[in-house]
Structure 1
Amino acid sequence: MTASGPVPDFVAYRAVRHGVRALLAARPDAGPGRVPACPEWTVTDLLGHLTAIAGRVLARHGGSPAAPSATADVPELLDHWDDVGEELDRRLEDAGGRSGAVMVMDAYTHELDLGAALGVAPPEDHAARVPSFEVLVSGLSGSIAAHGLPSLRLRTTAGEEWTAGGGRPAATVTAPAHDLYRALAGRRSLAQLAALTWSAAPGPWLPAFSWGPFTPPARPGV
């Protein structure tokens, strides 16, 4: 991978909280809106998930977070997430800055889900983007190995590169960074995955994009 050095998890996580708050600051009534990338969720549900994950991770690091009200609206959930997140930032920093990578990836992915639901273009730069990519590439690597496939080079149109799997890559898939990220995070259908720029027939690698919590949607994703 050709990006610069690692971003501490607490820095990346704080950036996600700020990003989500910025998306919703002028939309306090957005709670009932649906999130197409998570079709069973509303905006309120998405925020509830983010606060719940933050609470669980904080508890694992020795904190005792309170739960938000069951009727909390968007502004209340944002405030609760900040309260939990500020303590979590400190504990992640004390733990060395690299112990919340999966949480960061999950939160950043949902920030992108929220932006897509609200019709807001994804940020051009974000502190959580590269560390989240690394988590997803690691997951895809395990899936490629489990499927007995040769490794795959992942390349953004800006020139960033990762290798998923072991050994010399047998093919390269290239896409704009946002589309490549969404492909890795289960937000692109098999047809959308196949439509990316591949140096070889994509068919052998497409099953590997289903792993962990991620499965390509049946319909085109956002």
Structure 2
Amino acid sequence: MWLLEAIDVHADGLKRAALTAGPTAPVPNCPKWIVHDLVSHIAFVHGFAVGLAVNRPVRPEPPKDWADVLGWWDGQRLALREALGRDPGTPAFSPYPGFAATVGDWTRRMAHETAIHRLDAESALANALANALPTRFSTRFANDGVDEFLTYLTPRLGKKADVRVTTPERTWTLGEPKAELDGTADDVYRALWGRPHQASVRGDLAPLAAP
């Protein structure tokens, strides 16, 4: 339930930042995007996840107009909450060959997808909110995000990496480590997703590069 609530919290934060920055603001975390692109992407992802969660996958098409896509996204968020509000052990559609999925898996995936893109929306603010504190993720949420990235997403994307990842609370070892990443859970989480961070990196993390 806490991850379902996290989707709402981070989607709200993403939307606030997007509205403040405006649709044409560049997104420094994602240099090829402006805010309109970012909002269209997260709207698509939330809509896509609705179909996956109810085992009827479809590829939704967000509207092109800024005001329209904002409204459409609101509708997808409501549908997503309903779709994910079932027993987390309920089987769901998996787009990853050889891997099963549950409603709980998609709740977790959407919580972290939304949180990372919240950071992207906030990167577009520049100095618009000079007095606002940057988002920092709780230790519990960030460690869960690190674990989801390394033990759930990485194998499903067919990535193979020899790396040791360490936060003060946990250590993950993949293969025979040739690279190491350590720092606070928040910074390690950001580093794995290729966002600005203050974690320590030794060796090449390229094989783990986020999609």
DSSP-derived class of the 1:35 partner: coil
Report the Cα offset of residue 107 of structure 1: 1.8
1:57 paired to 2:70: no
> Hey, what's the Cα distance between the residues in 2 that align with 1:78 and 1:180?
31
User: Using a 3 Å threshold, how does the CA distance of structure 1 residues 171 and 99 change in structure 2: closer, same or farther?
Assistant: closer
**Displacement after TM superposition at 1:128 (Å):** 5.3
1:84 aligns with 2:76: yes
Normalising by structure 1, we get a TM-score of 0.67
- Whether contact under 8 Å (1:58, 1:65) holds in the other structure is no
Residue of structure 2 aligned with 1:181, choices 181, 189, 198: 189
Q: 1:90 to 1:131 in 2, by over 3 A?
A: farther
C-alpha change, 1:131 and 1:82, in structure 2 (3 Å) is: farther
- Structure 1 counterpart SS, 2:25: coil
- Residue 109 of structure 1 pairs with residue 116 of structure 2: yes
Q: 2:134 maps to what in 1?
A: 122
Q: Please give the per-residue CA displacement for 1:93-131, whole angstroms capped at 9, x wherever unaligned.
A: 214151313333222111111112214643234585444
Q: Distance in 2 between matches of 1:30 and 1:58?
A: 27
2:104 alignment counterpart: 98
Once residues 6 and 174 of structure 2 are traced to their aligned partners in structure 1, the CA distance between those partners, rounded to angstroms, is 26
Counterpart residue identity of residue 165, structure 1:
L
Q: What is the RMSD computed on CA atoms of the aligned residues?
A: 3.6
Distance 1:153 1:116 in 2: 25
Task: Indicate if the aligned counterparts of 2:18 and 2:121 stay in contact, CA closer than 8 A.
Answer: no
1:12 equivalent among 6, 19, 22 = 6
Name the CA distance, whole Å, in 1 between partners of 2:208 and 2:75.
Answer: 35
Match of 2:147 among 122, 134, 144: 134
Q: Is the 8 A contact 1:137 1:164 kept in 2?
A: no
Compute the TM-score of the two structures, normalised by the length of structure 2: 0.69
